[in-house]
């Protein structure tokens, strides 16, 4: 048996006991040594493959699979939370942009929109809750002050008017609340001295720094409010 054939036979079956293989081993020490080395390697491989399986291997595999599944669910949950947060932020930015964008072209439109929005929160029977001192503390932001009260003031809060910080006042009127807005001058908003729609009338007093806008229902004597404003508000430069 030649060397190549012998090696093929031994590789195929390290324990081969065919007459040809046995005869080759006896006649050639090199072939015998090669056969012994291959058989020894085969025993090592068999030994490595004969590691006993632990009794709890099944439970360990199930636990590992469960942990992997739990981690995957956690990653998906974090992804959903991150996605929800991104959507919330996007919605918030959109609402913010809409709120502070130039949605109206005139101070009259803006003032009526504000008055309509606030109408559900105030009635003419609400308590007067804002003092003259508290009002003037807010007016200081606009370099103005009231020398005297115009009447029962139910609210004085900062608001956004065409994206600008403004002051919104709600007074008790003749039959329904009267809204007064102190708004910085803006190049984005045009204005007329008077404006109206089917529910409200409005007037605008303008200075170099601000518009003072009065909005009331159709029965409200806005000219009287205008006179009181002119006599009561002082502006500083």
Q: Are residues 42 and 111 in the same domain?
A: no
Same domain, 113 and 196: yes
Q: Count how many domains the chain has.
A: 2
The pLDDT of residue 1? 67
Do 190 and 113 reside in the same domain of the chain? Answer: yes
pLDDT tens per residue, range 80-105: 766 665 566 555 544 444 444 455 66
Over residues 147-188, the pLDDT tens digits come to: 999 999 999 999 887 778 899 999 999 999 999 999 888 767
Task: With respect to residue 12, please indicate whether it lies within any of the assigned structural domains.
Answer: yes
Element (H, E) at 181: strand 178-184
- CB atoms < 10 A from the CB of 24, how many? 22
Residue 216 falls inside a structural domain: yes
Question: Does the pLDDT value for residue 65 go beyond 50?
Answer: yes
pLDDT band for position 111 (50/70/90)? confident
Three state DSSP letters for 109-176: HHHHHHHHHHCCCCCCCCCCCCCHHHHHHHHHHHCEEECCCCCCEEEEEEEEECCEEEEEEEECCCCC
Work out the angle at residue 55's Cα, subtended by the Cα atoms of residues 52 and 60, and round it to the nearest 5 degrees.
110
Q: What is the overall mean pLDDT for the chain?
A: 80
Q: How confident is the model at residue 71 (pLDDT cuts 50, 70, 90)?
A: confident
Burial class (CB within 10 angstroms; exposed 0-12, middle 13-18, buried 19+) of 186: middle
pLDDT tier at 116, thresholds 50, 70, 90: confident
**Is 144 a domain residue?**
yes
Please list, in sequence order, all residues whose beta carbon lies within 8 angstroms of the beta carbon of residue 1, skipping any fewer than 6 positions away.
9, 20, 21, 23, 24
Domain membership of residue 157 as a residue range: 107-235
Are 156 and 167 contacting, i.e. CB atoms less than 8 angstroms apart? yes
**Is residue 57 situated within a structural domain?**
no
43 and 112 share one domain:
no
In the predicted model, is pLDDT for residue 211 greater than 90? no
Helix H or strand E segment including 52: none
Residues 115, 38 within the same domain: no
User: Based on the domain organization, do 132 and 23 belong to the same domain?
Assistant: no
118 and 30 in a common domain: no
- pLDDT given at position 15: 78
Whether residues 128 and 29 fall in one domain: no
Both 144 and 230 in one domain: the answer is: yes
Let me know whether 16 and 129 are in one domain. no
Q: Is 211 within 8 Å of 190 (Cβ atoms)?
A: no
Residue 74 lies in a domain: no
Check residue 24 and give its pLDDT. 77
Structure-model confidence comparison of residues 174 and 119, the more confident one: 174
């Amino acid at each position: 048996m030649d060397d190549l054939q012998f090696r093929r036979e031994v590789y195929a079956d390290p324990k081969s006991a065919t007459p040809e293989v046995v005869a080759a081993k006896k006649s050639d020490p090199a072939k015998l040594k090669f056969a012994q080395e291959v058989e020894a390697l085969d025993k090592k491989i068999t030994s490595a493959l004969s590691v006993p399986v632990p009794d709890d291997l099944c439970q360990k595999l199930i636990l590992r699979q469960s942990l992997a599944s739990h981690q995957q669910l956690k990653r998906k949950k974090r992804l959903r939370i991150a996605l929800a947060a991104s959507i919330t932020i996007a919605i918030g930015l959109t609402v913010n942009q809409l709120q502070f964008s130039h949605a109206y072209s005139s101070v009259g439109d803006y003032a009526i929109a504000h008055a309509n929005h606030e109408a559900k929160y105030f009635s003419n029977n609400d308590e007067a809750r804002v003092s003259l001192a508290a009002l003037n503390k807010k007016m200081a932001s606009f370099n103005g002050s009231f020398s005297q009260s115009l009447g029962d003031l139910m609210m004085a809060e900062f608001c956004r008017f065409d994206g600008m910080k403004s002051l919104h006042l709600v007074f008790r009127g003749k039959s329904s609340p009267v809204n007064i807005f102190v708004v910085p001058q803006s190049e984005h908003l045009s204005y007329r001295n008077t404006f109206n729609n089917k529910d409200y009338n409005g007037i605008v007093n303008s200075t170099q720094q601000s518009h003072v806008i009065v909005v009331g229902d159709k029965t409200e004597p806005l000219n009287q409010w205008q006179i009181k404003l002119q006599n009561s508000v002082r502006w500083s430069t």
